[in-house]
Chains A and B, each alone.
Chain A
Amino acid sequence: MSADDPFEAIKQTFFLECEELLTDLEASVTALTFGDGDGETINAAFRAIHSIKGGAGAFGLEDLVRFAHVFETFMDELRSGRKACDDTAIRAMLHASDVLADHVSFARGLIPSMDEERSATVANDLRALMNGAGPAPLPAAAPEPSAPAGTTDEIEAAFGFKPVMFNLDALPEDAAMVPEGWTISFKPHVRLYETGNEPALLLRELARLGPCTVTLHAEALAPFADLHETAAGLSWTIELDAPVEKTAIQEIFEFVEDECDLVIAPKGGALDTPDVGDVDIAALLAAATAPASDPVVPAAADVDIQALLAAAQAPLVPPIQSAGEAPTTAPQTPTKAPAATAAAAPATSAGTQASIRVDLDRIDKLINVVGELVIQQAMLAQSVAECGLTASSTVKVGLEDLEQLSREIQDSVMAIRAQPVKSVFQRMPRLVREVAEMTGKQVRLVTEGEATEVDKTVVDRLAEPITHMIRNAIDHGLEDSEGRAAAGKPKEGTIRLAALHRSGRIVIEVSDDGRGINRERVRKIAIDRGLIAADANLTNEETDNLIFLPGFSTADTVSDISGRGVGMDVVRRSIQQLGGRISIASTPGKGSVFTMSLPLTLAVLDGMVVRAGGQTLLSPLPSIIESFTPREGDLHRIGARDWVIRFRDRFLPLIDTAKVLGFSPPDRGEINGKDGIAIVVENEGGSQVALWVDDIQGQRQVVIKSLETNYRKVEGISAATILGDGRVALILDIDALVVLGRQQANHADFKIAS
């Protein structure tokens, strides 16, 4: 399984290609579902399945081939119009593409087992729908004549698959009795030359089987004017002195059997007992025996093979010229094809080299180096600034240009990793189908902004939260058919999945036109679970967002579909780990909108540079709501250690950043309102806390460096970065910091109590 094994490498390419093909297939099927498809859509779906089958065959993935074959045959019926592409057919396609995807995943080892029963059921459904054509023959059930034993084993050992031989109409008795030699009469038609076949090469192949005596019959060449497609001119009689099987000879003439008069007979008067396997044997026999009995032009004497090969080159020219003269033999459409070529050519030259595949590690390495470059550049700028040069000095001007360039390089490199969210969005139709089937609801999925680009890491991690939100929307959001009818809504519910860029972030929205959030119920659950006080005064928005609180969704609010042990709080946390946020807005009776916003990349971060306990720290900008210098009386002590701060007429817990992170001795003087700044941040529960810091130094985009890779995990810190002056600054993990603050407060209380 080494990476150096070219075959293994191609197999990996195959799976990557399958991913793309399955995405294409899904898109085609989706288009057909919504009535947006045409003949080309069916064609595209057919091609995708066909390509998967082709590759799978090469890698001996028999189950995949077998299923793809049935599916492909079915699509061929649709493509040819023999079967109508109606709702039943589309539904079968939907199921079949799901099963095909599972087969690929299984072959790739991505899923542990294959639901054979479902596969068989779906395949049978497809066959049943093709009732006119009857059950599709399985490729494995119709093996081709087997290959010569020696090569089969070699190939199988080397490549892991069995070669499939050419389809020959071998007669059983030929295999049974092998004569001493063969007499072959071969008379090419003009068409043989026109299709790029070459008698000389065929004769040479024959010579590989054993010693040949070749007789050239050139007499038919004489009446040039009468040249006809069935009498191209030269013909040959070959005496093959080797006990080979007839199939070996037939194989050589395989491509030309319809473009020549060919008789293969055991040597020694065998021409009198014609091969019954050949259809127009009488005509062939006549053609084959004619030259031998023709006394006018003496047949060329027995010559050696080399001389014959030379002679065989000669007839190539006249027959082809004759093709031009005989209108019936010119099948070409000379004007149409070249025109099409010329028109499409420019597009091709642009398209062929439009993309290349690059190993992700290489790009990450590049991003890393560019990050270093940006840091180095910032450090250099700072050193230069400290030299006190004038603003017009060439060094400063040059440095500014350099800064511009570094930024451009950084942006370009980030753009390399950017990918459209399409790959994630296109997985969703299947999910919607499955959930809709399980819930018995009718659901239509509408997607928008599939081309919206975001860093690959972010794309990869989008799938899970989106999946969860969609499940949730169908299961909890949408009413069932009766409910919708009662509410005067169309029977089919709509889930809308949209992506857009907004102020340097990507926003994903999942909305439904369902019943909206039942605020009374949410409030009751929250009170029952002790998440809010019974008399809490919450806005509608705050009530809606209670569903993200840890502990909100538990067993009795979770169904089979959206439950699966994961609550909305987990979704929220996973999004926050990506530096994102999620919220919900709901209108009772009209539906809900989940909105999540994420940074476009995880490689750089916008942060606020702050100082606490003499250390430079970075607070991620997305978490920050506001920062302010408290006025006298804004700070209040609660209990022995805890502080709260007044913010917009509310009191927020105040976390002493330096103390929590251990930057200052525990006996450091208490917080006071004079020498610090409060930064209001949002924590994981969606509620707000204030961080107490010494001062704020400014806002900056920084390159994120993993602390765990370079050092170790530090509580309350998510990563690190290097600032312009070369100092390392730790990036605060706001959520962890809040938890840490709470724990220390509890611990302190405990000490005091004891």
Chain B
Amino acid sequence: MNKKILTVDDSRTMRDMLKLALSDAGYDVVQAEDGVDGLETLDREGADVVITDINMPRMDGFGFIEGVRANPAYRGLPVLVLTTESSPEKKARAKEAGATGWIVKPFDPVKLVDVVRRVSG
């Protein structure tokens, strides 16, 4: 059975890009549009890996990750942050929220899959 990846991003373009790259690599992809939607989708559909944007309406990526980490059911669930800023502060902030790692936009599809594999096996 394919691994399932939840992508959380308010940009349709970015969701489509992620889906294209991940589906090509044999992953199943479920999508959510913001942090709130992401937590809800995760509860409903489950996921083996989560990739989330940071800047989103309603609930941003940091809030989303904190929400994931607050739920014992998702202990050890890899959550990757999509960020255009590769600044150390952003990474530190993501780490503080409980992110497993990050992917810098624009991402290269091969690299993306590498990173997903690195955190999910």
Contacts and interface: CB of A to CB of B under 8 A. Distances in A.
A341 B39 contact: yes
B36 interface: yes
A57 B109 contact: no
Contact of A54 (B59, B84, B99): B84
Contacts of A347: 36
Contacts of B104: 144, 164-167
A53 to B, nearest CB: 6
A198 B108 contact: no
Given A54-B14, A331-B96, A344-B58, 15 more contacts: A10-B13, A47-B57, A55-B11, A151-B111, A195-B95, A196-B76, A197-B100, A197-B119, A201-B121, A202-B118, A320-B75, A338-B70, A340-B36, A344-B59, A351-B37
A543 B36 CA distance: 60
A50 B76 CA distance: 30
Q: How large is the interface on A (under 10, 10 to 19, 20 to 34, 35 or more residues)?
A: 35 or more
A161 interface: yes
A17 B101 contact: no
A55 B88 CA distance: 22
A258 B95 contact: yes
A163 B110 CA distance: 9
Interface in B94-121: 95-96, 98-102, 104-111, 118-121
B2 interface: no
Interface string A34-60: 000000000010110011011101100
Nearest to A256: B101
Among B77, B95, B99, B120, residue most surrounded by chain A Cβ atoms (within 10 Å)? B95
Contacts of A338: 67, 70-71
A204 B102 CA distance: 19
A663 interface: no
Contacts of B58: 344
A301 interface: no
A7 B108 CA distance: 13
A205 B17 CA distance: 25
Nearest to B37: A348
B91 to A, nearest CB: 8
A360 interface: no
Contacts of A336: 70
A47 B55 contact: yes
A332 B97 CA distance: 8
Interface of A: 6-7, 9-10, 13-14, 17, 44, 46-47, 50-51, 53-55, 57-58, 144, 147, 151, 154-155, 159, 161-167, 193-198, 200-202, 204-205, 252, 254-255, 258-259, 316, 320, 331-334, 336-338, 340-341, 344-345, 347-349, 351-352
A13 B12 contact: yes
B84 A50 contact: yes
A333 B71 CA distance: 10
B4 interface: no
21 contacts: A7-B20, A13-B16, A54-B84, A54-B106, A55-B11, A57-B84, A155-B108, A161-B106, A164-B108, A195-B79, A195-B99, A196-B119, A201-B121, A205-B118, A258-B92, A316-B76, A332-B69, A337-B67, A340-B59, A344-B40, A352-B33
A13 B59 CA distance: 24
Nearest to B63: A337
Contacts of B37: 348, 351-352
Given A17-B13, A351-B37, A166 B100 contact: no
B86 A53 contact: no
Interface in B40-78: 40, 43, 55-59, 63, 66-67, 69-71, 75-78
Contact of B118 (A50, A55, A252): A252
A14 B79 CA distance: 25
A197 B78 contact: yes
Interface string B2-43: 000000001111101100100000000000110011011001
Give the top 4 A-B pairs by smallest Cβ distance, nearest first. Answer: A163-B108, A255-B101, A57-B106, A337-B67
Nearest to A161: B106
A147 B104 CA distance: 13
Given A344-B58, A349-B40, A198 B14 contact: no
Contact of A341 (B33, B36, B69): B36
Nearest to B83: A54
A10 B109 CA distance: 14
Contacts of A7: 20
Contacts of B11: 17, 51, 54-55
Contact of B69 (A14, A144, A194, A348): A194
A288 to B, nearest CB: 22
A671 to B, nearest CB: 63
A14 B119 CA distance: 29
Contacts of B70: 332-334, 336-338
A258 B16 CA distance: 32
A344 B66 CA distance: 16
A17 B59 CA distance: 20
B38 to A, nearest CB: 9
A348 B40 contact: yes
Nearest to A139: B84
A411 B47 CA distance: 42
Nearest to A345: B40
Contacts of A163: 106-108, 110-111
Nearest to B58: A344
B96 A54 contact: no
Nearest to A56: B106
A195 B98 contact: yes
Given A7-B20, A54-B84, A337 B66 contact: yes
A487 B33 CA distance: 53
A1 B27 CA distance: 26
Contact of B102 (A13, A154, A255): A255
A23 to B, nearest CB: 14
A459 B34 CA distance: 30
A159 B64 CA distance: 30
Nearest to A73: B85
Contacts of A155: 108-110
A340 B67 contact: yes
Contact of B13 (A44, A55, A147): A55
Contacts of B69: 194, 331-332
A352 B39 CA distance: 13
Contacts of A147: 108, 111
Nearest to A167: B86
B121 A341 contact: no
Contact of B20 (A6, A151, A320, A348): A6
A252 B118 CA distance: 8
Contacts of A10: 13, 16-17, 20
A13 B110 contact: no
Contact of B106 (A164, A345, A349): A164
A344 B36 contact: yes
Contacts of A331: 69, 96, 98
Contacts of B109: 155, 159
